[in-house]
Structure 1
């Protein structure tokens, strides 16, 4: 079960879902024509997944669920970070199947059942591995990976996140390491709005996770969300200094990339509060200070509109800055400042712009 950070408003809890009535666990035979008692061997019901196996090797799932999201026992153990319980559930599969098969056939069947149990999802589309990755339970993640196939690793919950993506978003660096070591290709999976694990980690300020992802594949910096924003846009907007440094170290030209509105990372940075991020971007490429978005706004126009006094001063100290640049609707930064409600910030910005020739 993912946290509130990951759910957001897009999480569908499926409160109106009508569940199919569960077959009884005490049933010892399929409800076909009633055979004689001597001809039907007792069925085996596994307590964690509800997988029932008869001596003919036929398998049938009787889904046993509990909790508000129809979690299996394995989900609940993973949620608690209870490694002993996780191991017990998986080990019990072996002991419960003794006598039904033998030798290599038994080993293959046990392995198949374990994979099925680990791959099982709750009502929110979450595997036990996802739950452990979300909650930051490293040892449980390691244990479940022993039985997780490619499908389990890539499986997304109903909100569009897989195990690596949720671990990246939550900042669980050690879990991100383990998952990437297991399958480096997970770093390229896409979540909601085509966000990558790198974009999510950059947005949330998880520097160690960002560095881990970049170390595995520096080409990840090229990925963008559906709105055209890349990891640098989002880290700059949030003022994550170390992440901005890490991204620019990989490619300083990233500072020139624009989103679908024509905004650079500098446009995003001046909406925030970090002068240090603004400086880092300008050090990478000072000329971006005059790049307009699709509406003709330079960074100075945006900073003025947002009443960022310190950032306006920072921009005006640059030789490349044109204090009288016009937007598409023919407004200078001073025009924008004069339209602002009277306040200490708007007065300071007007004075500053005037000093620099507006």
Structure 2
């Protein structure tokens, strides 16, 4: 009976089994050995649990060497990248300098206009494209040079001003007008103005000197007037609390200062300047067009008309195109452009200056008056 009581049965009841914690300690060798404080354990590099202190120090030294190699590699990579960027910028600057040098040499030696014009009869074209101003492609010096080239070409049956411009500087327009009138008085060959999209204000001033004006039925023609446009900021500057400091020698030197009010006397004076300039404009147009102009008072009011209306007012002689003029003069559509080519270097620097002026907000015309 006692043997039965002390002997475990087949089901295992009464057998003493080890607990989960004691079994995990026996199986996990990482928990064996003396306990290391948490701070010391964090400072040591991971390794085998039975590594001694010398092995751990060696592992730590190797890890430090590896970290140093990685850092040195990063520094060398950054230096190589920096050298590449320096080389890139140097090559870019060198390329720009070479392009400018080539453009200058090209304009001086290879891009000069042909001395010998075409042998067959043709139209001598001079382009008047864009705003007429001293710092634009449509400047007086360039156009006058083209006029003389076309005029002197013996095979050029006629000189044609190919106009597509809204006008511009009164001085530049007057210079071109005077040169056309000088050539016109010689009477060797006709000078014809062909207006494309627009021939207004200073551009019409130039066209009025020609022997004949041709325009499309939908071309914009006219705008015989003078304009000055500005702003008044006197109240704005007071609101933001800015003090304007202007020193002049002459009581009216700053009468157009936009930060000062324009008094009645100054306004009357400036209006007289505009009126006198307008009168000069009218006189030159009448001298160029003569009796072809109608008696309508609206002609010199600054209004613009299309080509068909301009015929009725005497501002245009006939409706047509450059191709029709060429067929009438030489029997075919054959023409030669005598406008001097633009200097690429000058074009680049001029465009850069214009962009900088526009970005800085200091882009202003050479003259406050505009045709």
Larger radius of gyration: 2
TM-score w.r.t. length of structure 2:
0.26
- Structure with larger RCO (C-alpha < 8 A, sep 6+): 2
Please identify which structure carries the higher helix content: 1
TM-score w.r.t. length of structure 1:
0.27
Please identify which structure carries the higher strand content: 2
